[in-house]
């Protein structure tokens, strides 16, 4: 398994147009991440980390370049195919959680299964198990608005994992949390990653966090450079 | 593909928490739907009321009046009747009628009534029905037989002994045998006969009671395929020539009905226009609510896309919400509309009958408006790209 490639990018470029000026955010980016690998993405604010993660997560398109996700070429995929790939391959964890406030914790976690056509009862049952795994079973009936930040992120992690994706993309998942809670969330993510052998990409500013990952990628000036493997 | 029942469940989830704004949109939809349903019902009942004016007088019937002109010589019934016989109007069934005011005596009790001299065909032409006995018969010739209108029979019975078929009645000192009693009947606007207050005797028997009577009204049936308007013209033509000293007026119930309908229709169109405006207003309100809904839930849209929702799933989510809103509005509106129409009928003194088609028509047109105006915001939501939707600014 370890020598299989999860993400393979070649010559990926992305620019945004601001009025008359063009801002090139990513310039001919090349890199690979193997299946089951953990990878930190670091770099100064505004360097294009989120842009890179959006392209990896099929939420945004590169202007040019080739991108293979789990062997699927996604360069020419239509929006329905992209939705299908996001559904089956990717779980997202956002800095601001993005839970649906009016739904209960349980319903939030079950939501990805609903787009897989799983019936309501068994979706809720699976969601309950997943909440147990992230230590939130006792909050299942809460509205997500009534949770603390750390609790919300636990729920978001359960939601990202419930569809058994091959890739977890976390954009500053601890960016809104105090350091104690941040460590707990990170430990949770890493322990689940080990259990499920899922590929994990984390955008982070925290060097300690970055050191916990097998691979470290720095985004700067539109370029992506791989840093030395961290000491595990 | 998100199965339909799940799509609906999801939409209803968000519908639960739709805001006060949606209550306003709902109000618009309710008003629109209510006006459509009310209008159809009011129109329906106005039509029934108009039809009831004619009380069974068919649209193939017309009435010719031959009032005496001032200072013209008074003609005699027998001469008039002979003239009628001589008319050349093939196919037309002419029922002559003659009227007189008389008093009847039964059992020492005297009652005023309208005397109608006529023929047996009147029975079908103005749709009479019998309580007891029979109507005039063509073999009655000038026999002294009488058929009583309902109210006359009731008044005559008030003396104590109930009047029966077979009893004898004194009309201007002539005895007439009661052969039938009619059921009560509401007056038709066009028929010259006031059924309940009249007694009916054979046309030629009337000369015995009232010597100076002339022919007054002809009730004429124009069976198909004859054209009633052409028949009316020909009748007028011949009557004017035959009865040259008298004025001739022809009433065609069909024309009167059409006149009333034309008036109703104008009123109807006006109301429908009002209902349509209310409905479109409601639709625009739904569109606004849905647009705000989409922009407030932009991040949710992005999240749903990130976890695998396709464009049509997002479109359906919002479309179903718009539909749920319109369905609720349509159903409430139908109830309100029926209540309004009922009130209108009560105030107008009509009997209320529910127009069955009004409910599906009202609900369907409201749903169409909901889909039409809900579609644009729903499509706008589905056209967002996931990054655009998820951007937190
Ligand atoms: N949709 C957009 N339109 C225009 N500029 C954008 C857009 N998204 C990002 N940018 C710009 O691209 C650059 C990289 O942004 P981002 O990837 O969010 O950086 P990071 O996540 O590393 O802080 C920033 O300068 C940002 O302003
Ligand atoms: Mg960022």
Q: Counting beta carbons within 10 angstroms of the beta carbon of residue B60, is it exposed (0 to 12), middle (13 to 18) or buried (19 or more)?
A: middle
Place of tokens 């009862």: A121
Q: What is the pTM of this model?
A: 0.71
Give the ipTM: 0.94
Confidence of residue A2 (pLDDT cuts 50, 70, 90): very low
Determine whether the shortest distance from the Cβ of A49 to ligand 1 is under 6 A: yes
Higher pLDDT, B70 or A108: A108
**Cβ–Cβ below 8 Å for A92 and B299:** no
Domain definitions of chain B by residue range:
4-53+257-390, 67-247
Shortest CA distance from B2: residue in chain A: A115
Kindly state the tokens that stand for A33.
Answer: 């991440």
Domain boundaries, given as residue ranges, for chain A: 37-50+82-227
Q: Which contacts of B234-238 are long-range, i.e. CB under 8 A and separated by 24 or more positions?
A: B234/B89, B235/B62, B235/B64, B235/B89, B235/B92, B236/B64, B238/B87, B238/B88, B238/B89
CB atoms within 10 A of CB B168: 11
Report the run of H or E that residue B100 belongs to, with start and end.
Answer: strand B93-106
Q: How many CA atoms lie within 13 A of B63 on its CB side?
A: 22
Q: Is the CB of A135 under 6 A from ligand 1?
A: no
Residue A86, pLDDT score:
95
For the cut 60, the answer to whether the pLDDT of residue A158 exceeds it is yes
**What is the per-residue pLDDT for B248?**
81
Question: What does the pLDDT read at residue B259?
Answer: 78
- Residue A217 CA: which ligand is closest? 1
Residue A232: pLDDT over 60: no
Residue keyed to tokens 């003194």: B349
The DSSP 8-state label assigned to residue A142 in this structure reads S
Q: Is A14 near ligand 1, meaning CB less than 6 Å away?
A: no
Whether the CB-CB separation of A40 and A202 falls below 8 Å is answered with: yes
Please report the residues numbered 81 through 120 in chain A whose beta carbons come closer than 8 angstroms to any beta carbon of chain B. 83-84, 86-88, 90, 92, 94, 96, 98, 100, 102-103, 107, 111-112, 114-117, 120
Superfamily of domain A37-50+82-227: P-loop containing nucleotide triphosphate hydrolases (3.40.50.300)
Question: What band does A85 get if pLDDT is binned at 50, 70 and 90?
Answer: very high
Whether the CB of A145 is below 8 Å from some CB of chain B: the reply is no
Q: What is the pLDDT of residue B73?
A: 55
Q: In this predicted model, which residue has the larger pLDDT, B233 or A85? A: A85
Using the mean position of ligand 1's atoms as its centre, give its distance from the Cα of residue A13 in Å. Answer: 13
Which residue in the block uniquely carries the two structure tokens 């016989």? B85
Q: Quote the distance between the C-alpha of residue B178 and its chain's center.
A: 36
Q: Which chain A residue has its CA at the smallest distance from B4's CA? A: A117
Atom of ligand 1 nearest to the CA of A52: 17
Query: Pick from B17, B300, B308: which is nearest to A83 by CB?
Result: B308
Question: Can you tell me the mean pLDDT for A145-160?
Answer: 95
- Which neighbouring-strand residues pair with A31? A9
B392 closest CB neighbour out of A96, A111, A117: A96
State residue A231's pLDDT score: 43
Q: Which residues of A touch B393 (CB under 8 A)?
A: none
Q: Say if residues A198 and A36 touch (Cβ distance below 8 Å).
A: yes
Q: Which residues have CB atoms below 5 A from the ion given as ligand 2?
A: A 50
pLDDT in tens, A115-141: 998 999 999 999 999 999 999 999 999
pLDDT digits (tens, 9 = 90+) for A35-75: 999 999 999 999 999 999 999 999 999 999 999 999 999 98
Beta-bridged to residue B48, according to DSSP, are none
Residue numbers of chain B with a pLDDT score lower than 70: 1-3, 10-21, 52-58, 68-76, 189, 393
Lowest mean per-residue pLDDT among A13-17, A87-91, B165-169: B165-169
């Amino acid at each position: 398994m370890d020598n299989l490639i999860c993400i393979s990018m070649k010559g990926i470029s992305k620019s945004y147009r601001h009025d008359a000026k063009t801002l090139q955010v990513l310039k001919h980016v090349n890199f690979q991440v193997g299946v089951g690998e953990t990878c930190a993405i670091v770099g100064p604010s505004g360097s294009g980390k989120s842009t890179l993660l959006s392209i990896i997560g099929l939420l945004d398109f590169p202007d040019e370049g080739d991108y293979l996700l789990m062997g699927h070429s996604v360069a020419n995929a239509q929006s329905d195919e992209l939705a299908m790939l996001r559904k089956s391959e990717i779980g997202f964890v956002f800095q601001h959680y993005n839970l649906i406030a009016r739904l209960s914790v349980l319903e939030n976690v079950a939501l990805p299964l609903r787009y897989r056509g799983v019936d309501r009862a068994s979706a809720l049952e699976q969601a309950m198990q997943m909440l147990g795994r992230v230590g939130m079973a006792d909050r299942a009936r809460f509205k997500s608005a009534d949770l603390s930040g750390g609790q919300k992120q636990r729920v978001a992690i359960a939601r990202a994992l419930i569809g058994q994706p091959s890739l977890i993309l976390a954009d500053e998942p601890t960016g809104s949390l105090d350091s104690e809670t941040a460590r707990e969330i990170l430990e949770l993510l890493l322990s689940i990653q080990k259990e499920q052998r899922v590929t994990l990409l984390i955008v982070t500013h925290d060097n300690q966090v970055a050191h916990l990952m097998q691979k470290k990628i720095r985004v700067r000036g539109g370029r992506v450079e791989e840093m030395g493997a961290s000491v595990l | 593909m998100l199965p339909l029942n799940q799509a609906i469940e999801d939409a209803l989830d968000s519908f639960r928490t739709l805001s006060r704004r949606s209550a306003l949109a709902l109000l618009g939809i309710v008003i629109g739907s209510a006006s459509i349903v009310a209008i159809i019902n009011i129109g329906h009942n106005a039509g029934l009321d108009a039809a009831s004016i004619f009380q069974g007088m068919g649209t193939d019937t017309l009435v010719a009046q031959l009032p005496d002109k001032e200072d013209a010589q008074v003609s005699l019934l027998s001469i008039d009747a002979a003239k009628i016989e001589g008319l050349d109007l093939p196919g037309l069934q002419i029922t002559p009628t003659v009227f007189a005011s008389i008093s009847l005596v039964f059992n020492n009790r005297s009652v005023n009534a309208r005397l109608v001299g006529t023929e047996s065909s009147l029975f079908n032409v103005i749709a009479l029905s019998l309580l007891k006995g029979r109507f005039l018969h063509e073999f009655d010739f000038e026999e002294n037989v009488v058929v009583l209108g309902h109210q006359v029979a009731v008044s005559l019975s008030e003396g104590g002994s109930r009047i029966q078929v077979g009893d004898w009645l004194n009309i201007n000192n002539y005895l007439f045998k009661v052969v039938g009693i009619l059921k009560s009947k509401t007056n038709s606007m066009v028929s010259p006969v006031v059924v309940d207050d009249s007694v009916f005797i054979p046309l030629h028997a009337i000369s015995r009671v009232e010597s100076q009577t002339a022919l007054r009204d002809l009730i004429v049936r124009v069976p198909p395929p004859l054209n009633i308007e052409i028949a009316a013209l020909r009748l007028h033509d011949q009557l004017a020539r035959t009865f040259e000293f008298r004025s001739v007026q022809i009433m065609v119930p069909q024309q009167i009905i059409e006149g009333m309908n034309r008036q109703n229709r104008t009123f109807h169109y006006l109301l429908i226009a009002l209902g349509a405006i209310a409905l479109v207003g409601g639709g625009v309100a739904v569109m606004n609510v849905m647009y705000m809904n989409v922009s407030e839930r932009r991040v949710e849209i992005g999240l749903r896309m990130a976890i695998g929702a396709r464009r049509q799933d997002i479109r359906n989510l919002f479309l179903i919400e718009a539909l749920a809103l319109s369905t609720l509005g349509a159903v409430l509106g139908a109830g309100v509309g029926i209540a309004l129409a009922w009130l209108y009928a009560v105030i107008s003194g009509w009997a209320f009958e529910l127009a069955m088609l009004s409910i599906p028509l009202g609900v369907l047109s409201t749903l169409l408006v909901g889909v039409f105006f809900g579609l644009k915001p729903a499509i706008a939501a589905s056209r967002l790209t996931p990054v655009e939707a998820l951007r937190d600014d």
